[in-house]
Amino acid sequence: MSALIRPAEPDDMPRLQEIVTEVWAIGSDWVLEEKYGAVGDRSWDRWLVPKIMARLWDEIGSALVTERDGRIVGFIAYGLDRLRRVGTIHYNAVAVECRGEGIGTRQVEHVLALMRDGGMEVATVGTGLNEGHAAARRMYENSGFEPVIEYRMYARRL
C-alpha cells in the first residue's frame, strides 16, 4: 500500500482532530492528569486538543497529511524562519493503527526536503523525554537529528 503526502485542507480537520486525540495521550497535559486528576475539572484533551487544532488551523498552509487508500493516517506541520534559516517541525503524528510502518519518518523526510528547498540551514523538532515519546525520539535520531538541549517540566499541587 502506497501513501500519498499532500497539503492539508480544511475538510481534513475532523480526521486530524481524531488523530490528535488518540496520539497526544502521552504528553504533559495527560501526565498532569495522571498525577493530579482532572485539572480544571475537565480531562486533558478538553484543554489540549483545541489548542493544537487552533494552531493547525493557523498554520494550514504548512501542514501536510498522509493518505493511504483515501484515508488520512498521519499529518505533519512545520514552520520556516526565513530570516534565521531555521525550519521547525511543530507536529508530527501517525494514527495508532499505522504506527511502526514508517509513515512518521516519510513525513519528516518530506518536510526536510521542503526545508532544504526553502533555504533552511538547520531543522529543529522538540519531543518529550518520557517513555511515551521514546519512539518519536528514535525516529528523529534515525533521521539525523541530535539532542541539543533537554527540558524538564515541574509541577506541584496548589
Q: What is the pTM of this model?
A: 0.90
132 or 124: which carries more pLDDT confidence?
Answer: 124
Contact indicator for 130, 95 with CB cutoff of 8 Å: no
Ordered structural domains, the chain, with CATH: 3-142 (3.40.630.30)
Q: How confident is the model at residue 1 (pLDDT cuts 50, 70, 90)?
A: low
DSSP the chain: --EEEEE--GGGHHHHHHHHHHH-TTSHHHHHHHHHS-GGGS-HHHHHHHHHHHHHHHTGGGEEEEEETTEEEEEEEEEEETTTTEEEEEEEEE-GGGTTSSHHHHHHHHHHHHHHHTT-SEEEE---SSGGGHHHHHHHHHTT--------------
Judge whether residue 153 has pLDDT over 70: yes
pLDDT tens readout for residues 46-93: 888 899 999 999 999 999 999 999 999 999 999 999 999 999 999 999
Judge whether residue 27 has pLDDT over 80: no
